[in-house]
């Protein structure tokens, strides 16, 4: 029998092999299948059309937004629409200027270079990227000391697409090198419902409309989470039910996964509980919170905190995070000192 309590938590920022396969299977390849984010889509379509008319590559684009909101997906669609190759690389992988030179000189005219986790790009590399982005040239320094010479490499006109979960970590000059910056926000309820319906078709699983609603409610309005939950619920339906995802199966599966009706999992609740019980509601600093919950700081910043803030359960103050009245209510904890509450 399949182990339903499998290792990956539904909201984990770390992608398992299973997640990667799921991402690939369900990743939309056309604008039509890329659901929601209408304004961003429209803007990009205009940029593409205008560039095509001029017969030029499009300007450099930057996407920012939480994990699983569709940054990688939209970048692939853009390359497909432009009918060019896309080269995908993660920011931290480019360690030396030589790595950058190798990547850039291997591009063809008009290619898209997609750099994920752009905020983790090495600071030394940043300096070299400016002329590459502006003038399509790379200034290399050959040799050391008094014998050092600089050499200018001409690059093909390429388009950089950067993706980041942390816009604030990019320096202003770096941000300014992008022709346009787009934020991907949480999805609307209706859009997540459509995504779940589409994914169910692709995964060949029958799902009741009420079950779609239940999974949507727990999806944190994030496509990747919706898909992961759908897959877990499908496994549950195949083992515990008759293969169809009914309302009852969806409810049972989510309960089994310890996901509550707002989509909070044990990790979220632990953060709230620690703030409330250990630190009397806060404020508590990120480092302390990370130590007390054994969650990495990045995970708190990228995964837990944005959604808890969206729900209005925690607030960020200059002295740290505080739990709000809503958080106490949700956990059913009485507050001793009600004046303190936000
Ligand atoms: N707009 C969308 N419509 C439908 N599915 C989407 C959309 N955006 C993302 N997805 C789904 O969510 C998964 C994660 O998206 P991805 O682009 O990898 O997110 P990010 O790069 O922002 O972390 C994709 O594989 C895809 O199945
Ligand atoms: Mg991505």
Ligand 1 touching residue 66 (CB < 6 A): no
Active-site annotation holds for 137: no
Cα R_g (the chain), whole angstroms: 23
Alpha-carbon distance 17 to 281, whole Å? 38
Given a contact cutoff of 8 angstroms between Cβ atoms, the answer to whether 58 and 48 are in contact is yes
In a shared domain, residues 81 and 169: yes
Candidates 73, 159, 165, 299; catalytic one: 165
In a shared domain, residues 153 and 200: no
Nearest CA residue ID for atom 25, ligand 1: 23
pLDDT in tens, 15-41: 788 888 888 889 999 999 999 999 999
In a shared domain, residues 99 and 198: no
Alpha-carbon distance 342 to 157, whole Å? 52
pLDDT in tens, 182-204: 999 999 999 999 999 999 999 99
Q: Is residue 10, in this structure, part of any structural domain at all? A: no
Active-site annotation holds for 72: yes
In a shared domain, residues 118 and 147: yes
Nearest CA residue ID for atom 8, ligand 1: 70
Q: Is residue 25, in this structure, part of any structural domain at all? A: no
Identify the CATH number of the domain in which residue 199 sits: 1.10.8.60
Alpha-carbon distance 237 to 231, whole Å? 10
In a shared domain, residues 71 and 209: no
Active-site annotation holds for 224: yes
pLDDT of residue 5 exceeding 50: no
In a shared domain, residues 245 and 277: no
Ligand 1 touching residue 231 (CB < 6 A): no
Single out the residue in 233, 256, 279 at which a domain terminates: 256
Tell me which ligand sits closest to the C-alpha of residue 66: 1
pLDDT in tens, 202-259: 999 999 999 999 999 999 999 999 999 999 999 999 998 888 999 999 999 999 999 9
In a shared domain, residues 178 and 41: yes
Active-site annotation holds for 213: no
Active-site annotation holds for 165: yes
Q: Is residue 5, in this structure, part of any structural domain at all? A: no
Q: Is residue 27, in this structure, part of any structural domain at all? A: no
61: left (phi over 0), alpha (psi -120 to 50) or beta: beta
Single out the residue in 156, 183, 210 at which a domain terminates: 183
In a shared domain, residues 139 and 58: yes
pLDDT of residue 7 exceeding 50: no
Candidates 19, 73, 84, 116; catalytic one: 116
In a shared domain, residues 335 and 296: yes
Given a contact cutoff of 8 angstroms between Cβ atoms, the answer to whether 109 and 117 are in contact is no
On whether the pTM is more than 0.85, the answer is yes
Range of the domain at 199: 189-256
Closest CA to 93 of 65, 116, 66: 116
pLDDT in tens, 266-279: 999 999 999 999 99
Alpha-carbon distance 22 to 29, whole Å? 14
In a shared domain, residues 231 and 250: yes
What lies within 8 Å, CB to CB, of 49 at 6+ separation is none
Single out the residue in 142, 158, 183 at which a domain terminates: 183
In a shared domain, residues 177 and 194: no
pLDDT in tens, 251-307: 999 999 999 999 999 999 999 999 999 999 989 999 999 999 999 998 899 889 999
Ligand 1 touching residue 69 (CB < 6 A): yes
pLDDT in tens, 82-128: 999 999 999 999 999 899 999 999 999 999 999 999 999 998 899 89
Q: Is residue 7, in this structure, part of any structural domain at all? A: no
Distances (CA, A) of 199 to 4, 140, 226, 229: 20, 47, 9, 11
């Amino acid at each position: 029998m399949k182990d339903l309590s499998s290792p990956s938590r539904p909201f984990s920022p770390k992608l398992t092999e299973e997640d990667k396969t799921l991402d690939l299977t369900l990743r939309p390849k056309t604008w039509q299948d890329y659901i929601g984010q209408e304004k961003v889509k429209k803007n990009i379509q205009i940029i593409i059309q205008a560039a095509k008319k001029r017969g030029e590559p499009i300007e450099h684009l930057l996407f920012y937004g939480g994990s699983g909101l569709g940054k990688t997906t939209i970048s692939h669609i853009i390359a497909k629409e432009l009918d060019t190759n896309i080269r995908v690389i993660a920011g931290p992988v480019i360690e030396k200027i030589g790595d950058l030179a190798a990547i850039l000189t291997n591009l063809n005219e008009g290619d898209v270079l997609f750099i994920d986790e752009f905020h983790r790009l090495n600071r030394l590399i940043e300096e070299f990227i400016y002329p590459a982005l502006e003038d399509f040239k790379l200034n290399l320094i050959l040799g050391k000391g008094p014998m050092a010479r600089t050499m200018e490499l001409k690059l093909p006109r390429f388009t950089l697409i950067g993706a980041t979960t942390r816009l604030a970590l990019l320096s202003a000059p770096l941000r300014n090198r992008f022709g346009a910056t787009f934020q991907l926000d949480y999805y609307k309820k209706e859009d997540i419902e459509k995504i779940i319906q589409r994914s169910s078709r692709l995964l060949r699983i029958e799902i009741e409309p009420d079950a779609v609603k239940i999974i949507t409610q727990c999806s944190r309005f994030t496509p990747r989470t919706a898909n992961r939950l759908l897959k877990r619920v499908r496994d549950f339906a195949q083992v515990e039910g008759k293969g169809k995802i009914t309302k009852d199966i969806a409810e049972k599966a989510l309960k089994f996964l310890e996901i509550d009706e707002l989509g909070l999992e044990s990790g979220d609740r632990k953060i709230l509980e620690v703030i409330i019980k250990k630190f009397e509601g806060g404020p508590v600093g990120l480092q302390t919170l990370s130590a007390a919950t054994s969650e990495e700081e990045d995970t708190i910043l990228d995964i837990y905190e944005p959604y808890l803030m969206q729900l209005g359960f925690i607030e960020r103050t200059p002295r740290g995070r505080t739990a709000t009245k809503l958080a106490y209510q949700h956990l059913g904890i009485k507050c001793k000192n009600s004046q303190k509450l936000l």
